[in-house]
Structure 1
Amino acid sequence: MPDMDGFEVARQLLDISGGVNLPMVMLSSAGLKGEGSRSKELGFKAYLSKPFTSEELQQVIERVVTSAQHGTTELITRYCVDDLQAGMNILLVEDDAINQQLIIVLLKRLGHQVTLAANGQIALDAMAQQTFDLVLMDMMMPVMNGLEVTEHIRAVEFGFSHVPVVALTANVMQVDRERCFKAGMDDYLSKPIELQELKRVLKRFEPGTRKLRIQEPDVAPSIPSKNVSLESPVFDYTAALAKADREVVEIVANVFIEQWPLDVEKITQAIACGEVSTVMYVAHALKGSLGMFGAQPAVILAQELEQLSSFKGAPSVQLLSTMTLKLNAMKTQVEHLLPALHSQQLP
């Protein structure tokens, strides 16, 4: 707020009330490290960073009232509310480093245990050794794709002990959803993964409340617009922050800086050697992870590169060059942004 922030308002309210323990909820637009601790020190009962839903706010307020009745002192956050759900043992099958880090961070924050499998064969080996409550399955991977892995899982189950499998896909057309259903998947999440959609799926498949098989969402997932100008900003921090919070953006940004040079080298070598499938896999992974940064021009270029490869066409060196320029510029922007993120100077 202008003139006076919420912490100062809280201090003055406490002075006016003579130290009476007023139930207060801190609503933060920044989500900076340390704000939760400061809120607790000043006597706030709950801390909630924006953006949040009306349902989340209602749940937090209900917890505040309940804690006041029972005299508990724990600082209530959206993650405390999520922790009321039983933690699940989840198998994440994903080969892209950026998506791996993003999903693992979100799942652990929500109180779940995560096992990572970088390809389909590793996933099957893991499932042979232990039981999982839920499988989050990338659709397009080398060695064995998500559809093939799911078909194998269903064949082995013989109708017993059905393990929910949720597709992770950057392809959001109706035909792709039908392929998920046909292979035996129960739901899907479109990339880039957003917290609210992830929470919807986790709640749906919580043990004891499972509803199997795909349910079509009320609103169709967004598809990158072909009308987005390639001259649009290559990195949109506001869009990135809308999909997660500052800490998650920082984690994913660090992975992107490390991964992008490896990806461009892999695509360049694959084009030179005529390895069309490799180009398609890497471009597909980039299409999903770049959406996390609101990088729509780069998403469109990755999508075009993937489509050329999927039709066994010759991937364009010029198209790769254009995408490389865009992503190098994005990498520079992200590198300049990271110190401010780390020092909590950005919201």
Structure 2
Amino acid sequence: MRNGERLRLCCATLHYNENCNREMATSKDGMQCLSMVYLNAKKGKEAVVESRQTPASYDYVLVIKQAVIIGTVLRSVYTSQIKWKLATKPAVLGLDIDLKCSLDSNTSIDGTRQWSKGQNLTLLVLNGTPVNRTKYTEKLQKARLISVLTIRSLSVEDVNVPYTCQLGFDTYTDILNMTVENFEYHSEGQISCLRFKDDHAIFSLKFRKVFPIPNCTASTGDIDLTNNLKTVFVPIGFFYEVNVSLRYHHVRKKHIDRSLDIVCCAGTKRIEYSLQFNNDNCTDEVSKVDGKGSALSQIEVLGIAVICLVCLLPCTCLCIFLWDNKNVEKFSSSTKKLFNILRSQKKRQERNEERDDFI
């Protein structure tokens, strides 16, 4: 329900509560006042007699005006201390998080307490009762004057939107921003290729969806290879697709039995890989970050392309030749049939002419 609709519903409720038990109107002599009402169902042709009530009262309007004026004056003199903040740090997407709202000690804890979301103030929890029990829950700590809103299975739709904590007339609204300091999304890396060939070590690691961008280091024994790492990232909505590649030259034979150690930190998540140079470990998906790090060299790829072209060219020419010969044969046979039909028609016409001349 939108905020305007809610306000109109509240006004209608106040009007009904004040005028639902009105007394019957009477004349100066104490006689009951009656009125004739024409029914719409009878199209105004029939009327019924009903008792008349006293006029409606609108005293609640004055009460509302007084409450607004008093609230405005109090807000100008007194600043509310109500405020909420993110209690779960880091907040990991897919897990539960808590928003902690510190309530005002000058406001009664028994007043109307609610959590809402978005610009339209979509109601989440009202006095401890959540609208969606599987998504939101609230815990009230009366002694500490704290209201804790728990958001289950944090998703993209739950971040970068305003949340409002309200107690009575005191409210506080702030946006739950997805920042590098407070939010994380952990994605397992996938090794694309680790290969040792001659004096080259080729490594590739891909994160399909991660936040924030991982910070990776590489080493083998006492040799730091971090400067050889190449990181390329592409934004995907709130997340990143990250490719980390390493091409290490001049690997000595005495180091072939050593391991390549890769450590990537995505926020507080630490991902470690320890792989041997003498064991090829490649998957079907090879990283496209570094073109020199592919499994085949450019010369090998060019040679394969030439061989395929040489093999396919004669076959293609042969297919075209056979296709053309078939078409010629079909065309010649159809032409002969047409010629024979025309010739027979001509002979038949000549015979008919000779018969007419003889007659």
Q: Same fold (TM over 0.5)?
A: no
Q: Which structure shows the bigger proportion of residues in helix conformation?
A: 1
Q: Which has the higher contact order (CA 8 A, sep 6+)?
A: 1
Instruction: Give TM-score, length-normalised by structure 2.
Output: 0.20
Larger radius of gyration: 2
